[in-house]
């Protein structure tokens, strides 16, 4: 991915995520919530296509079991139509947003995308980026690892 497209995609993702999380607890904001949700999925799909990789879903078997149990419970529900509607909102949307979040975390680790724009706080991957770019030792939580220190002295 080139730097400019990477930056634009990351900015769109973080704005959509902020909007989604902001309107999530507010009543009667379903349209805005769904729009932000669709933007999150579309940007993630675009980044995955450009990076030529697949989305990340840890514990896929367990998520599938959770979904199947919820689907079977619809059969025994008092109002199956309403239960199916709730299944979509409470299970499918949660699994999809989990996939989006974990995928962006994995893309950051692989350095396909960068830190959030305007983020000056050291994140979990900042030390690796600093060492590779500047040749410095990796510092995590104020301590320098001896292995990283030896590498930086070479």
The number of beta carbons lying within 10 Å of the beta carbon of residue 43 is 22
Instruction: Retrieve residue 111's tokens.
Output: 């350095």
Q: What pLDDT score was predicted for residue 117?
A: 54
Q: Kindly indicate the confidence band of residue 15, based on its pLDDT and cuts at 50, 70 and 90.
A: very high
Residues of the chain with pLDDT > 90: what percent?
Answer: 22
In 3D space, the residue among 18, 47, 39, 16 whose CA is nearest the CA of residue 110 turns out to be 47
pLDDT of residue 146: 54
Dihedral sign from CA coordinates of 55, 59, 65, 69: negative
Q: Which residues contact 66 (CB under 8 A, 6 or more apart)?
A: 91, 95
| pLDDT classification of 147: cutoffs 50, 70, 90 | low
């Amino acid at each position: 991915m080139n730097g400019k497209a990477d930056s634009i995609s990351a900015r769109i993702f973080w704005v959509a995520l902020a909007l989604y999380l902001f309107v999530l607890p507010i009543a009667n904001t379903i349209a805005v919530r769904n729009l932000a949700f669709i933007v999150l999925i579309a940007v993630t799909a675009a980044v995955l296509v450009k990076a030529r990789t697949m989305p990340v879903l840890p514990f896929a078997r367990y998520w599938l079991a959770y979904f199947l149990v919820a689907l079977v419970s619809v059969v025994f529900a008092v109002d199956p139509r309403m239960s199916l509607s709730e299944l979509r909102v409470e299970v499918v949307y949660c699994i999809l947003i989990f996939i989006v979040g974990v995928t962006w975390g994995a893309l950051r680790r692989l350095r396909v995308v960068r830190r959030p724009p305007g983020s000056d706080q050291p994140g979990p991957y900042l030390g690796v980026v600093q060492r590779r770019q500047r040749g410095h030792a990796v510092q995590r939580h104020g301590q320098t690892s001896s292995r990283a220190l030896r590498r930086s002295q070479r």
